[in-house]
């Protein structure tokens, strides 16, 4: 065993092992995403595990702790200005690759990094807006500029709760949650619509909102080939229509 000094405190560790492994084994918290103890050779891809090291009176320098080998008398500092600056730089670089990563957003928060805008999963393709207007006909979504940036937002009172916007969204930024007898539709953390759910007249399953059923009724009313309107879920409607 050898002795290293971390932030002024001595630790007895194995010789010639990864400094990151030694630090973590002794409860010293060091961020890292690309390191795993089961892999023998580190690659330092995430560059988060940077620390400041000094050996035998030499000059202190920043280095990736996953790639540094432990040696007797090694001096380590884990939170100097240089270390924090290097970690912030690494976090920002990683965020450009994965801007919606929860772990990266948490790291950014921990290190006081201000992100110009919070990623919301929306790529501004406007599919939801267009399908709601051109196909469904409800026109319940629109693009609105907030602080110089475009956002898909709801048109107050226009949502009929069909969920088509969520079904067509390529990044799943719009979410539909059916809980008990209520359907809630969200984009980001904003609620687009909250609707009660009607029960199927045959099986009792909650399947559609009253506004959607009423909307469909009025849309298809003039069509000569539409059969009597009913409150059947898709599965029961299919069985009913086949049987009849």
| Rounded Cα–Cα distance for residues 227 and 225 (Å) | 6
The predicted-structure confidence for 139-194, as pLDDT tens digits, reads as follows 999 999 987 888 999 999 999 999 999 999 988 899 999 998 999 999 988 898 99
Can you give the pLDDT at residue 220?
Answer: 66
Listed ranges 55-59, 208-212, 231-235; the one with the highest mean pLDDT: 208-212
CB count, 10 Å around CB of 32?
Answer: 19
Q: Is the pTM of this model over 0.85?
A: no
The predicted-structure confidence for 53-112, as pLDDT tens digits, reads as follows 998 778 999 999 999 999 999 999 999 999 999 999 999 999 888 887 889 989 999 999
The predicted-structure confidence for 27-41, as pLDDT tens digits, reads as follows 999 999 999 888 878
Q: Kindly state the tokens that stand for 176.
A: 């539909």
CATH 3.10.20.740 range(s) for the chain read: 2-110
Can you give the pLDDT at residue 225?
Answer: 47
Nearby residues of 193 by Cβ (< 8 Å), 6 or more positions away = 140, 154, 159, 160, 161, 183, 184, 185
Can you give the pLDDT at residue 216?
Answer: 81
Which residues, in sequence order, are bridge partners of residue 144? 151
CATH of 2-110, one of 3.40.50.10860, 3.60.21.10, 3.10.20.740, 1.10.3720.10: 3.10.20.740
SS (H, E, C) 162-175: CCHHHHHCCCCCEE
């Amino acid at each position: 065993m050898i002795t290293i000094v971390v932030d002024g405190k001595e630790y007895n560790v194995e010789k010639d092992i990864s400094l990151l492994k030694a630090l973590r084994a002794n409860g010293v918290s060091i961020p890292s995403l690309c390191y795993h103890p089961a892999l023998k050779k580190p690659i330092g891809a995430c560059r988060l595990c940077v620390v400041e090291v000094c050996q035998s009176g030499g000059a202190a320098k920043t280095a990736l702790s996953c790639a540094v080998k432990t040696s007797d008398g090694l001096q380590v500092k884990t939170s100097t200005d240089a270390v924090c600056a290097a970690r912030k730089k690494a976090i920002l670089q990683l965020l450009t690759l994965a801007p919606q990563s929860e772990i990266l957003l948490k790291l950014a928060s921990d290190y006081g990094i201000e992100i110009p805008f919070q990623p919301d999963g929306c790529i501004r393709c406007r599919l939801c807006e267009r399908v709601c207007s051109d196909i469904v006909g409800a026109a319940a979504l629109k693009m609105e500029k907030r602080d110089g940036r475009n956002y898909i937002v709801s048109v107050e009172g226009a949502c009929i709760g069909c969920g088509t916007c969520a079904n067509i969204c390529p990044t799943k930024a719009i979410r539909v949650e059916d809980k008990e007898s209520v359907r809630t539709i969200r984009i980001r953390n904003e609620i687009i619509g909250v609707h009660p759910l009607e029960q199927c007249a045959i099986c009792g399953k909650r399947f559609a909102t009253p506004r959607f059923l009423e909307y469909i009724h009025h849309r298809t009313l003039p069509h000569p080939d539409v059969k009597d309107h009913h409150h059947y879920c898709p599965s029961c409607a299919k069985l009913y229509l086949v049987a009849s």
